[in-house]
Structure 1
Amino acid sequence: MDEGCSRIRRRVSVRKRNRRSLESVFAALTAAVLKPGDEEKEDEDEETVAGSRRRKTMDVQPVENIDSEEDMFGDYDSFAENSFLAQVDDLEQKYLQLPEHRKHATDHATEDLCSESIKHNTLSITAVGDYTELKIDEHTKNQSGHEDVSIDPEADVLYDIPSSQVLFFENLYSSSNDLGDPSTEERDWNSSSHKTVNEELPINNVEQPQQTDESSSKVRTSSDANRRKSLKDHLKNTMTGNAKAQTPVFSRTKQLKETLLSEEINVAKKTIESSLDDLGPFYSLPSKVRDLYVQFKGIEKLYEWQHACLTLNSVQERKNLIYSLPTSGGKTLVAEILMLQELLCRRKDVLMILPYVAIVQEKISGLSSFGVELGFFVEEYAGSKGKFPPIKRREKKSLYIATIEKGHSLVNSLIETERINSLGLVVVDELHMIGEGSRGAILEMTLAKILYTSKTTQIIGMSATLNNVEDLQEFLQAEYYTSQFRPVELKEYLKIKDTIYEVDSKAENGMTFSRLLNYKYSDTLKKMDPDHLIALVTEVIPNYSCLVFCPTKKNCENVAEMICKILSKEYLKHKEKEKHEVIKNLKNISNGNLCPVLKHTIPFGVAYHHGGLTGDERKLLEEAYSAGVLCLFTCTSTLAAGVNLPARRVILRAPYVAKEFLKKNQYKQMIGRAGRAGIDSTGESILILQEKDKQQVLELISRPLENCYSQLVQEFTKGIQTLFLSLIGLKIATNLGDIYHFMSGTFFGVQQKILLKERSLWEITVESLRYLTEKGLLQNDTILTEKGLLQKDTIHGSEEEFQYSFHITKLGRASFKGAIDLAYCDSLYRDLKKGLEGLVLESLLHLIYLTTPYDMASQCHPDWMIYFRQKVDKNIVNRLYLSFVLYTLLKETNIWSVSEKFNMPRGYIQNLLSGAAAFSSCVLHFCEELEEFWVYRALLVELTKKLTYCVKAELIPLMEVTGVLEGRARQLYNAGYKSLMHLANANPEVLIKTIDHLSRRQAKQIVSSAKLLLHEKAEALQEEVEELLRLPSDFPGIVASSVEKA
């Protein structure tokens, strides 16, 4: 008898689970406060209670038969291991890492929350015949404040059974009224569900107090017992048949438990988030993140300013933030940590906007390894790459890395599909570009839309060159953080003739004498090098690196050749083998071709860097420079805002960019490349100037940075008109009042008093809407025509005029969805319409012509000796000429031969190809919105792919991997890596030995990027399969069942 009681007591106190339930958590807490040596006393108390219970109730017979079927369901509720309980475990892990005082605070909060429900959740044990009943105290039911999840005995029979069995028992109730009280059946089920016990229970498991319910201790008749036993057997048989099929669970008891746990989580989260001075192991991120930064980037410790910035109140409260530091100060690391917090902790998607395609690809290569290790996707939105709208991930979150234009299209697609709130954070690098031309206007539109449509998306902006920060703060509703920290000291110098002056703001004329150049120049040498560049660079190279910024592309090449003509032959011996490898690889990626300038300069460790290089050439030269094989770059100003290539010394060949005098922002960006963190102790910049430019240069150095001004109005078709069209197309604002209100919240709205001298904001709004209506992109209500609002200028709108609404036309929707410049949208429509009259599909030439960018036609200067002159529209002829260039390129896939044939720089042809691929993607989206152009859709998909890669078909799968360009793809293909699966499963160490001139870092990045891309594709296919197999929410059977239950 004692053994039977002991067995009953164990069944009551414990249900076998793989995860700790809420009760077990509190049981563990109670056990933890027991003093050593109390365990025996506790056992004695338990026996006393058991004996008392035997006296108060009938004699309970031990359960003698526990067959295999009963064992089968003893652990039946283990399927409760859902994502919700996983969330509890994740919170517990994070909770355990907090300081002790916060842990106690959370414990008290949790106890206060759940103590009432726990302490009143008493059970009574009633013996009836050969069976034992468990009964919940009525007080527990009455005290529950959750009406929607209250425990209804009739509705919660068999609370842990599959939904199919729930329907069966509902039918059972309605057809059998002679089985007794439903509450009795519930108690019998609870009894049978506890048949299986774990004999090896921990001794410190604390049982809940048991109370005797006198009303449930009466003896049932043998007829009642037989009915109940019959029901139990029926239940067992039914469950045995359905045991193998796990179906969704409907459990009100479980809902009550989850509600209590949800409240516990919320209390704990609030406690965690309330602390601002202790963010956990690594700024609220797992310690694994810190280890990855050490492993992949060699960063072991953050700078003081980085820690200060990450612990700002505004950052912890998720307010918008602008921060500004000098170049090379470590701004990007702060942004990366904030992005990881959003992806891993808050489980939201993140958008990072970067200025150039090369920087996007560099950032993707750097973060792909983190994505693989930490479980998130890194998606590229640049050129023709990127899906609109982005794939909606269920499990993992996505980090979108985009150019300014693609970032704008991405935000538009998220707003259109009502998913903008899934975007938790937007990071903008080089925020000062908001004041630079049409790209600045697009960036402003993007940020304004996010601010207007999402109140939960945080915006982080960073830049090295900001002045009128107050205007940007007002626009972004942001806090501001700045520091003058540089990891390496920067010294600025000016060179006039053979004298070096140090820039000194405290000096009377802004500079002080430093030294004279100590280099012997012959008369011939002075003619070749009047600016003493040889003297300046030989103080640094070859042991340290040096950048020489030149005003033009041609000047870069000339200076590189001039330096190599003068340099000593000793420079040829420095890393001679590695430099020969660079030349060999340049030939390999160019089908045996090599620029004669590079052929001459690379053996000396010198190369030029400008937009005239192909993508493959530029990437290979940058890698060689970073590895120290090349020690000197002669470059244009684009390198200053591009990929990170620091140097010990930076020399500015002249205070000009092309023919324009240098701006302060440009000057700061260039000299900011001086000094490599962790390598150099100091960085130096030297600006070479002539005596005539001295005063202008001194003013340049002493004056503040240039202000940023909105470009919405200056860039009319790419600015305010494009904005209005998208606002109406996305239904963000559809009437004059809403549009005017939106404009007040833009960067332009903040600066309108400065920018608008002759016209008001209302006049500009009306004028832009008039233009869009006249162009057939918008339609307005008939009342507008009657009132003549769009035919006259008014200074202020009346209340009636504020309500006038607009609707987007099909052409307008196609234009904004395709991101087509409104200056060309009608021309594109006419060309596509005319193309339908006689579309030639024998070759790709006709399609190529239709996707040749309009804006590049004005830059084209055809060689009329190739084709006869004809009196036709010049733009049409120029586009046709460029389409011949592209067509030849697709056939030959060799930029060098095409460059020679058409007498064009290979860099220009490379840019033409990239522009054509991007524009082809835009035309595709344009055609998708216009039914009459259905024939173009499938054709343009393939053409866009061909233009994007411009290689043989077998190399395309490899080039889809970030960082793999044509030359590298050909090497990999020849080495046997012919598919994405091959690369994803490759061993980096084997790649290093197999592929020439491939560093260990590059090999790891390629493998990581391939793995990430493979996972993305697999995930997309898996989600598509699940979507197809999912039962529709409007399925008739589900609806009927819901109505029946209601």
Structure 2
Amino acid sequence: MDEGGSRIRRRVSLPKRNRPSLGCIFSAPTAAELEPGDEGKEEEEMVAENRRRKTAGVLPVEVQPLLLSDSPECLVLGGGDTNPDLLRRMPTDREVGDQHNDSEVDMFGDCDSFTENFIAQVDDLEQKSMQLPEHKKHATDFATENLCSESIKNKLSITTTGNLTELQTDKHTENQSGHEGVTSEPGADLLYDVPSSQAIYFENLQNSSNDLGDHSMKERDWKSSSHNTVNEELPHNCIEQPQQNDESSSKVRTSSDMNRRKSIKDHLKSAMTGNAKAQTPIFSRSKQLKDTLLSEEINIAKKTIESSSNDLGPFYSLPSKVRDLYAQFKGIEKLYEWQHTCLTLNSVQERKNLIYSLPTSGGKTLVAEILMLQELLCCQKDVLMILPYVAIVQEKISGLSSFGIELGFFVEEYAGSKGRFPPTKRREKKSLYIATIEKGHSLVNSLIETGRIGSLGLVVVDELHMIGEGSRGATLEMTLAKILYTSKTTQIIGMSATLNNVEDLQKFLQAEYYTSQFRPVELKEYLKINDTIYEVDSKAENGMTFSRLLNYKYSDTLKKMDPDHLVALVTEVIPNYSCLVFCPSKKNCENVAEMICKFLSKEYLKHKEKEKCEVIKNLKNIGNGNLCPVLKRTIPFGVAYHHSGLTSDERKLLEEAYSTGVLCLFTCTSTLAAGVNLPARRVILRAPYVAKEFLKRNQYKQMIGRAGRAGIDTIGESILILQEKDKQQVLELITKPLENCYSHLVQEFTKGIQTLFLSLIGLKIATNLDDIYHFMNGTFFGVQQKILLKEKSLWEITVESLRYLTEKGLLQKDTIYKSEEEVQYNFHITKLGRASFKGTIDLAYCDILYRDLKKGLEGLVLESLLHLIYLTTPYDLVSQCNPDWMIYFRQFSQLSPAEQNVAAILGVSESFIGKKASGQAIRKKVDKDIVNRLYLSFVLYTLLKETNIWTVSEKFNMPRGYIQNLLTGAASFSSCVLHFCEELEEFWVYRALLVELTKKLTYCVKAELIPLMEVTGVLEGRAKQLYSAGYKSLMHLANANPEVLVRTIDHLSRRQAKRIVSSAKMLLHEKAEALQEEVEELLRLPSDFPGAVASSTDKA
């Protein structure tokens, strides 16, 4: 990397210099170098030199470097081991004659003296070398090297590839010549105007030649040296046969000397004639270099990848600009050693699938990003990156949009309700799709359906271990299995910090494996029992050794309030360093935060007091004057809680404050460990439990992996607090291996194997029983079937699943009798089945959704949004709903007649709700799911009307975080219902209605703020600030100055401002590109146009 980077810096930073004449390229020998008896020739050579200067004056501005026509034979001049014996075979007399026929006039006849002088010196040295004893040959080689460096000032290696002549300077050789006393003109840099791609190519070729020369000098075996050289640089028809030392070979050599002298002379003259005739336009090469540097470097990187060369170019096959952007945007100037090793693996160079595993904070993502940029820029293919959570998707979108703007590719978000299916097919630029697991699956389905899966060059999966976690793991497995089955050119890269049974994953993904235990910051693990702290030590007999006793004066009151000594542990770190305290539950997070603040001294209030006041002020702004009372008490001390009960705006604001050091302590749940990157100097685990379940090894490793911030901390610490009763379990926890990862494809029945079969048949990947069974054998489940299947075989499960889908009306079966004994069962998808898989509807709810939509057509109430909202309220949240009947009755009584009509259509009466609220017995049966779903619809309906989550939270006595999650789920499900309806003609009326509703649910703000909230990273609170500051549209934001934004918008860091502007520019470019696509499509002549057909017939 560094070597390639230095080459580019050297090329860019060269000062403007005058182009050297031929005289300074081919300089005459100095007096000291003339052989005895040669003094008489000096005058003749001076005359020849003047002729050469005169000739050089008529050449064009760009003198081509000795282009030897299109002949396969070429002359190699220079290099660290230039030797007459290594010259390539010269053309025959007949070939030379052919070359003369191409030139009408001998324009460079006066240069004969120069060529003769040069060849004479070469021959003279060669003769001397042959006469020297064996032990003096080494010195002769250096003499030859000196002669070449003086005759050819900048030592050019010249090679012809088609019509392209490339050349390169060997800096090492120039320095070596300088040490030997060779004087050179300071202004002569022949490579100044040479494209960087050619310079890099020639430097690599020259280094290869030098290495071969060094080997030759050491071994003194001319035959071996010649053989190595021609293998590296020469075509087979150019190989000169090794010469023997016997008498016959000497005669052959003597007889060929004249022909060789003549050939060299004729080659030089022919090349200069071609240069003189070339019609080269006169223009500024420095300007051209600046304009084309990036594209040339991409081209040379593309050639490098295609040729599977070990030379990775300037920056791992990428332009040096990429390295500069990483330094500018992320402060990364040098890669870790393991990252370099991973990027240079043969499996990576050969585009094989790869799984790599390192501890948390080891820098895994950077490797994936470099590989993605290689695919986008060099291979010109689209890339899909799959991440586990929406928040991480949005963070990655913000981080990579700047790269997309600078390097010319699109970054598209596929999360929640965002994402277009099928994705827009770009004319020139490629796309980086960043998606959640569910959206990534839908994206792959759409690419397969449209026959564009081959355009996907690379798929990167973060947190690969999630393939073994429930229904989301099953969805991830389906996605990867389809890619493996349908595209042999798509590379898959998986990464994780917690993998154990890697062999199964390797077999499934057909992948190589790389692992390292590298951490940029050392991590020390501790256990705390009572007031004693032990260090985890695998070498110790019981797995731990005594470290220290807590030295903190506790009052009786404090002991009762803080039996786990949390105050003592956090005050050792804060406020100068950051700390995370993981708690078993959300309520525990809030209680611990308040308890710690009660016992902190007043000195903590003064630390960054002004900045903390700004945080509180901004929290009030995004809550329309409302602020959580717990946060109001804890933030002045630099402490806050972090869990799913926060709104998206609150969570983002608190995370920004923590990252900048305004907040120094988070009390959080385990979800933070797998979410956005918020490292700390010390991580404390309040108890070895997550909710009521004992901690798993994978969870433990993820939590403690947050300890230690690269570039900030020199050490990271984790402390697990435990009771004596849990000691044995904890010792097993810290010593046992990571949990194995198992497929959930069959366990998640309706979200797993049945959904897979439906999509396989719908996409026509596999449509008969044998093909489907074959596909299943290639899945992760197929790899583990011997472990997972105890009672039934894979064949039996396949048959049962297909039967279930057929009975449910999602598939139809055709029986084909191939012979009397052989029967084949073919399947095709029904309209309902296609709608289900296109809408990614859980098959447990697809028939219910169809009935609800069908019933809705009988009396769809459009006077308000309530009826539509009910139809898009997620089914899976209904079971978790426990209505407050008094609130339900109060809200019901406030409905307008049209809204009450919706409830009546659904079969929910006001008398029923009133009886439930008063506790009376109810004889009439009412569907509980419909009642609960309508209650959730009331919450969403109220939220859309008021757009204030705090007000709605108070009205329904629900946590604001729960309401936020309900809103996000409804927006996502609304998008799914929209795709479901698009496949069924009878639901045409819903299509236009659901597009607008999905948009309202996604943003849930006033209409004027929606354009700003389309930008990744801009939530409601920030959108209000921007709108108030005059940034009222996407164009305003895309053209904003980040420095002005920092001064105008409260609590906006420079880094965040740059990311917002980059995201806005990216979105604006995407929209502009889509409009251009539309215009071109409208103006394009249809392929089936009658006139076009007639025209083509006439031509034929």
* TM-score, normalised by the number of residues in structure 1: 0.77
CA–CA separation in structure 2 for the residues paired with 1:712 and 1:85: 57
1:268–1:1011 distance in 2 versus 1, CA, 3 Å: closer
Q: Give the aligned CA root-mean-square deviation in angstroms.
A: 3.4
Out of 496, 519, 541, which is 2:552 matched to? 519
Residues 1:271 and 1:861: Cα distance change in structure 2 (over 3 Å) = closer
Partner of 1:97, secondary structure, is helix
* 624, 644, 648: which one aligns with 2:681: 648
1:1044 is matched by which residue type in structure 2? D
Cα deviation for residue 1027 of structure 1 reads 1.3
Q: CA deviation at 1:108?
A: 10
Deviation per CA, 1:360-412, whole angstroms, max 9, x where unpaired?
00000000000000000000000000000000011000000000000000000
> Partner residue of 1:55?
none
**Does the CA-based 8 Å contact 1:713-1:720 persist in structure 2?**
yes
Matches within 5 A, 1:210-249: none
Corresponding position of 2:459:
426
Q: Hey, what's the Cα distance between the residues in 2 that align with 1:269 and 1:660?
A: 51
- Structure 1 residue 1036, shift from structure 2 partner: 3.0
Query: Does structure 2 retain, via aligned residues, the 8 Å contact 1:110–1:267?
Result: no
> Which one-letter code corresponds to 1:832 in the other structure?
L
Does 1:918 pair with 2:972? Answer: yes
| 8 Å contact from structure 2 (residues 534, 545) kept in 1 | yes
* CA apart distance, 1:1031: 1.7
Residues 1:31 and 1:614: Cα distance change in structure 2 (over 3 Å)? same
| 1:577-611 CA-partner distances (Å, limit 9, x unpaired) | 00000000000011000000000000000000000
1:69-100 CA deviation, whole Å, 9 max, x = no partner? xxxxxxxxxxxxxxx999x9999754532353
1:1030 aligned partner: 1084
1:44–1:362 CA distance, 2 compared to 1 (3 A): same
Distance across 2 between alignment mates of 1:1015 and 1:19: 42
1:496 aligns with 2:566: no
Task: Indicate if the aligned counterparts of 1:276 and 1:311 stay in contact, CA closer than 8 A.
Answer: no
The Cα offsets for residues 152-209 of structure 1, whole Å up to 9 and x where unpaired, read as: xxxxxxxxxxxxxxxxxxxxxxxxxxxxxxxxxxxxxxxxxxxxxxxxx99872559x
Match of 2:996 among 942, 950, 958: 942
Pair 1:994–1:320, CA change in 2 (3 A): same
C-alpha contact 1:19 1:85 (8 A) present in aligned 2: no
Q: SS at the partner of 1:484?
A: coil
The answer to whether structure 1 residue 848 and structure 2 residue 918 are counterparts is no
Aligned partner of 1:953 among 990, 997, 1007? 1007
User: CA distance change for structure 1 residues 908 and 267 in 2, over 3 Å: closer, same or farther?
Assistant: closer
Residue number among 328, 343, 354 corresponding to 1:295 in the alignment: 328
3-state SS of paired residue (1:378): strand
Q: Does structure 2 conserve the Cα–Cα contact (< 8 Å) formed by 1:502 and 1:514?
A: yes
- Aligned in 2, Cα 1:420/1:968: closer, same or farther, shift over 3 Å? same
Aligned counterpart in structure 2 of residue 804 of structure 1, from 825, 830, 840: 825
The unaligned stretches of length 5 or more in structure 2 are 1-57, 79-98, 110-161, 168-192, 210-228, 239-270, 279-297, 890-912, 917-921
| 1:466 equivalent in structure 2 | 499
Match of 2:883 among 862, 867, 876: 862
Question: Alignment partner of 1:805: what SS?
Answer: strand
Q: The residue matched to 1:996 in structure 2 has which SS?
A: coil
Instruction: Kindly indicate whether residue 970 of structure 2 is the aligned counterpart of residue 904 of structure 1.
Output: no
Secondary structure at 2:886's aligned position in 1? coil
- The answer on whether the counterparts of 1:31 and 1:206 sit within 8 Å (CA) in structure 2 is no
Q: 2:432 is paired with a residue of what secondary structure?
A: strand
Cα deviation, residue 17, structure 1: 15
Aligned positions of 1:304-703 closer than 5 A: 304-703=337-736
Q: Is the 8 A contact 2:441 2:475 kept in 1?
A: yes
> Distance in 1 between the 2:549 and 2:684 partners?
16
| 1:513 Cα deviation after fit | 0.4
Percentage of identical aligned residues: 85
- Give the Cα–Cα distance (whole angstroms) in 2 for the partners of residues 722 and 21 of structure 1: 64
Counterparts of 1:269 and 1:625, CA distance in 2: 42
CA contact 2:354–2:493 (8 Å) conserved in 1: yes
* Structure 1 pair 1021–631 and aligned structure 2 pair: CA distance change class (3 A): same
Equivalent residue, structure 2, for 1:176: none
Structure 1 residues 521-530 or 1027-1036, which shifts more? 1027-1036
- Maintained 8 Å contact 1:493/1:502: yes
Q: Does 1:97 align with 2:200?
A: yes
- Give 1:273 deviation, angstroms: 4.6
- Does 1:716 find its partner at 2:749? yes
| The one of 977, 985, 1002 aligned to 2:1031 | 977
Q: Is the 8 A contact 2:498 2:701 kept in 1?
A: yes
Q: Residues 19, 324 of structure 1: CA spacing in aligned structure 2 closer, same or farther, 3 A cutoff?
A: farther
Q: 1:682-738 CA distances to partner (integer Å, 9 max, x unpaired)?
A: 000000000000000001111000000000011000000000000000000000000
Query: Any idea what SS the aligned residue of 1:394 has?
Result: coil
- Is the Cα contact below 8 Å between 1:958 and 1:964 reproduced in 2? yes
Supply the distance in 2 between the matched residues of 1:970 and 1:85 (Cα, whole angstroms).
60
Paired with 1:107 and 1:893, the residues of 2 have a C-alpha distance of 76
Render the CA deviation track for 1:654-706: whole Å, top value 9, x for unaligned.
00000000000000000000000000000000000000000000011110000
TM-fit CA distance, 1:26: 6.3
Distance 1:624 1:782 in 2: 64
- Other structure's SS at 1:393 match: coil
SS of residue matched to 2:822: helix
Equivalent residue number for residue 219 of structure 2:
none
Q: What corresponds to 2:784 in structure 1?
A: 751
Change (3 A) 1:1029 1:20: farther
List runs of 5+ in structure 1 lacking aligned partners.
1-13, 35-41, 53-83, 116-200, 209-264, 788-797
- 1:941 and 1:846 map into 2 onto residues whose CA distance is 15
The 3 A distance-change label for structure 1 pair 613 and 50 is closer
1:781, CA displacement in angstroms? 1.2
For 1:195-253, what per-residue CA distance to the aligned partner results, in whole angstroms no more than 9, with x for missing partners? xxxxxx99872559xxxxxxxxxxxxxxxxxxxxxxxxxxxxxxxxxxxxxxxxxxxxx
Contact 1:31–1:204, Cα closer than 8 Å, also in 2: no
CA offsets 1:797-818 (integer angstroms, 9 cap, x no match): x9835x2100100000000000
Question: How far 1:1024 moved relative to its partner?
Answer: 1.0
Structure 1 SS opposite 2:517: coil
Deviation at 1:309, TM superposition (A): 0.2
Letter in 2 for 1:100: E
Q: TM-score, normalised by structure 2?
A: 0.73
Q: Is the contact between residue 812 and residue 828 of structure 2 (CA under 8 Å) also seen in structure 1? A: yes
Determine whether 1:963 maps to 2:1066.
no
**Cα distance in structure 2, aligned partners of 1:267 and 1:605:** 52
In 2, Cα distance between the equivalents of 1:853 and 1:873? Answer: 16
Which structure 2 residues correspond to residues 20-419 of structure 1 after superposition, within 5 A? 48=105, 94-98=197-201, 100-102=203-205, 205-207=275-277, 273-274=306-307, 276-419=309-452
Q: Residues 304 and 311 of structure 2 are in contact (CA less than 8 Å); yes or no, is this contact kept in structure 1?
A: no
Task: Report the CA distance between 1:1023 and its aligned residue.
Answer: 1.1
- Whole-Å separation in 1 of the counterparts to 2:957 and 2:498: 39
Structure 1 segment 713-792 matched on structure 2, within 5 A: 713-781=746-814
State the secondary structure of the residue aligned to 1:781: strand
Letter in 2 for 1:588: N
Deviation for aligned residue 1:284: 0.5
| Deviation, structure 1 residue 44 | 15
Aligned equivalents of 1:271 and 1:364: distance in 2? 29
**Contact 2:304–2:317, Cα closer than 8 Å, also in 1:** no
State the SS of the aligned residue for 1:804: strand
Relative to structure 1, is the Cα distance of residues 493 and 835 closer, same or farther in structure 2, using a 3 angstrom cutoff?
same
In the alignment, structure 1 residue 932 sits paired with structure 2 residue 953: no
Task: Quote the offset at 1:447 in angstroms.
Answer: 0.1
Secondary structure of the 2:460 match is strand
